């Protein structure tokens, strides 16, 4: 969709880091910052009066803060005079941020994964005021590194291939530009966000609704395992942003009730999973329903080789972002327990008795082992839920909701539950069965969010530490997860 309002962030002229926004070269480190050009500043003066005032203030602050090289000082003076004159006309617009219901500041320790920023502010991207209100009321203070890299480029309309760790703000990195570019007066589907699991679809749609709470944007979530009839009826009402799993959205598109000819943005979250043999055929069929000039954003923590063929076929000169200088989040302590199969339950019981666990996730490699282990943990006297793909969707939703709200301390699950789910109370992840490949290993360890500072004290005193524990009966090469003889 053509965004006539022209709200784009700094860097629109020549990309970031001195590279055009469509530069296909791989960015192994974050590019250097670029600044707005004079002709870009002048594109914003046709908005409504209170939006003009906000943007002019932001432009002035940006130029002052960054000592914009080569800029004509008359631009800054002109902005200053305009702001001063309009402030006298509409002083009430000055304190809009002060009237927000901002939650208490998050005082938890944060690692470099989310603090190593350039110092940008959300206001620097000239977003709609209503969207900024949702961002701040969501508790976001400043963009994280992946948000700094992605939001400006996404707003230019370029395709993006972005790799960053789970827990560093990827969801907001694509939700914010998606919400900004939607025309709320055009009642058609303008953005589709694809995710691989039903739980992640629910979580992502909730984030979109919270960020866009002050916008008149209609968000719909659709996944397999729910009423197809209800989804069809919902699509006869206005929908601007659609979140769902590939199979269900493809089914609705084939039936002619999900019209995607005006959808200008396709987001693929957990893109590596969406390009697995399970999903890729549906994703490729779905793309055929989109217009030729669509924008595709791909986000994940891992990008196997299969992603390259898809990128070459469907993405137009994508801007590549790579913030993965190492596999796992900083601040997570990892332990490996070399135990035989018959010793695993006893070892798990010992960990439960020695650790003060906030909440724990315990992974098994099969549905049957999930249920058996959950039963055993309950028999040992510990509260435990389990979840896997063969459960009824209503039951899965209830387990996910109750565990997230703290109704139970331990959750046993399959790898269904590794993708992008964010439950901040989880501070211990245990691999009862060793992960089968490096991607699974990474996504399991990323379950632990950035919550606390770490040290390496005695195991029994780790009451609020972030721990990742693997049970294994063999030595392994952690890079490729190959057995070592």
Domain ranges of the chain: 38-322, 333-483
Q: Is the pLDDT of residue 292 over 90?
A: yes
User: Given this chain, do its domains 38-322 and 333-483 carry the same CATH topology?
Assistant: yes
**What pLDDT does 446 receive?**
57
Distance CA 150, CA 397 (A): 31
Q: Is the pLDDT of residue 484 over 80?
A: no
| Greatest extent of the chain over all pairs of C-alpha atoms, in Å | 77
**What pLDDT does 117 receive?**
76
- Residues β-bridged to residue 334: 468
Q: Is the pLDDT of residue 1 over 70?
A: no
Looking at residues 74-84, what average pLDDT do you find? 50
- Cα angle 163, 324, 198 (rounded to 5 degrees) comes to 45
Lookup: tokens for 420:
């992008």
**Percentage with pLDDT > 90 across the chain:** 37
Q: Which ranges of 191-260 would DSSP assign to H, the alpha helix?
A: 198-211, 228-235, 246-254
Tens-digit pLDDT profile for residues 310-359: 999 999 999 999 887 665 556 667 777 788 888 889 889 888 888 878 88
Distance CA 57, CA 431 (A): 51
* 8 A C-beta contact, residue 265 and residue 194: no
* 8 A C-beta contact, residue 40 and residue 334: no
Tens-digit pLDDT profile for residues 30-71: 444 343 343 433 444 444 445 555 555 555 555 455 444 444
Whole-Å CA distances, 436 to 356, 387, 443, 444: 28, 19, 12, 11
CB atoms within 10 A of CB 424: 15
Phi and psi dihedrals of 27, rounded to 5?
-95, 95
Class of domain 333-483: alpha beta
Lookup: tokens for 276:
């697995």
**What pLDDT does 35 receive?**
38
The predicted model scores a pTM of: 0.61
CA–centroid distance for 340 within its chain: 38
**Percentage with pLDDT > 70 across the chain:** 66
Tens-digit pLDDT profile for residues 412-451: 998 876 655 566 678 888 889 888 776 677 667 654 443 3
Whole-Å CA distances, 114 to 85, 111, 153, 320: 39, 6, 19, 19
For residue 292, the 8-state DSSP code is: T
* 8 A C-beta contact, residue 333 and residue 466: yes
**What pLDDT does 427 receive?**
81
**What pLDDT does 94 receive?**
55
Distance CA 346, CA 368 (A): 19
Distance CA 225, CA 197 (A): 11
Q: Are strands 476-477 and 482-483 parallel, antiparallel or unpaired?
A: antiparallel
Contacts of 178 (CB under 8 A, 6+ apart): 154, 191, 193, 208, 241, 265, 267
**What pLDDT does 37 receive?**
40
Give the DSSP H/E element, type plus range, for residue 220: strand 219-222
Q: Is the pLDDT of residue 4 over 50?
A: no
Looking at residues 75-92, what average pLDDT do you find? 47
For residue 440, the 8-state DSSP code is: H
Length of the chain equals 485
Q: Is the pLDDT of residue 264 over 90?
A: yes
| Sign, CA torsion 25/27/28/29 | positive
Q: Which residue has the higher pLDDT, 453 or 225?
A: 225
**What pLDDT does 110 receive?**
59
Phi and psi dihedrals of 448, rounded to 5?
-80, 120
- Look up the CATH number of domain 38-322: 3.40.50.300
Looking at residues 476-485, what average pLDDT do you find? 41
């Amino acid at each position: 969709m053509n965004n006539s309002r022209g709200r784009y962030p700094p860097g629109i002229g020549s990309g970031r880091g001195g590279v055009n926004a469509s530069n296909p070269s791989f960015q192994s480190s974050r590019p250097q910052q670029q600044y707005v050009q004079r002709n870009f500043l002048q594109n914003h003066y046709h908005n409504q009066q209170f939006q003009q005032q906000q943007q002019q203030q932001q432009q002035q602050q940006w130029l002052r803060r960054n000592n914009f090289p080569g800029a004509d000082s008359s631009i800054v003076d002109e902005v200053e005079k305009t702001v001063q004159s309009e402030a006298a006309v509409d002083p009430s617009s000055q304190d809009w941020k002060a009237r927000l219901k901002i939650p208490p500041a998050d005082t938890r320790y944060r690692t470099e994964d989310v603090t190593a920023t350039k110092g940008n502010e959300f206001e620097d991207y000239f977003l709609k005021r209503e969207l900024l209100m949702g961002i701040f009321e969501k508790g976001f203070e400043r963009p994280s590194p992946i948000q700094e890299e992605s939001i400006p480029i996404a707003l230019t309309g370029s395709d993006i291939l972005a790799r960053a760790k789970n827990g560093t703000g990827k969801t907001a990195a694509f939700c914010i530009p998606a919400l900004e570019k939607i025309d709320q007066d055009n009642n058609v589907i303008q953005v589709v966000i694809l995710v691989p699991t039903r739980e992640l679809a629910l979580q992502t749609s909730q984030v979109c609704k919270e960020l866009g709470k002050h916008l008149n944007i209609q968000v719909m979530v659709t996944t397999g395992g729910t009423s197809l009839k209800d989804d069809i009826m919902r699509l006869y009402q206005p929908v601007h942003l659609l979140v769902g799993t590939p199979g269900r959205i493809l089914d609705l598109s084939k039936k002619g009730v999900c019209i995607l000819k005006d959808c200008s943005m396709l987001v693929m979250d957990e893109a590596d999973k969406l390009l697995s043999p399970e999903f890729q055929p549906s994703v490729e069929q779905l793309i055929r329903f989109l217009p030729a000039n669509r924008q595709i954003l791909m986000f994940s923590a891992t990008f196997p080789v299969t992603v390259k063929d898809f990128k070459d076929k469907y993405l137009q000169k994508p801007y590549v972002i790579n913030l993965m200088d190492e596999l796992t989040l900083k601040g997570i302590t990892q332990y490996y327990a070399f135990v035989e199969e018959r010793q695993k339950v006893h070892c798990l019981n010992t960990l439960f008795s020695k650790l003060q666990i906030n909440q724990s996730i315990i992974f098994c490699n099969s549905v049957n082992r999930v249920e058996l282990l959950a039963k055993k943990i309950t028999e040992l006297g510990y509260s435990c839920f389990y979840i896997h793909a063969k459960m009824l969707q209503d039951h899965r939703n209830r387990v996910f909701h109750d565990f997230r709200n703290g109704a139970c301390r331990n959750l046993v699950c399959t790898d269904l539950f590794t993708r992008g789910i964010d439950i901040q109370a989880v501070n211990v992840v245990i691999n009862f069965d060793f992960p089968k490949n490096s991607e699974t290993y990474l996504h399991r360890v990323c379950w632990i969010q950035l919550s606390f500072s770490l040290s390496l004290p005695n195991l029994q005193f780790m009451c609020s530490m972030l721990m990742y524990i693997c049970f294994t009966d063999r030595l392994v090469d952690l890079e490729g997860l190959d057995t070592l003889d």
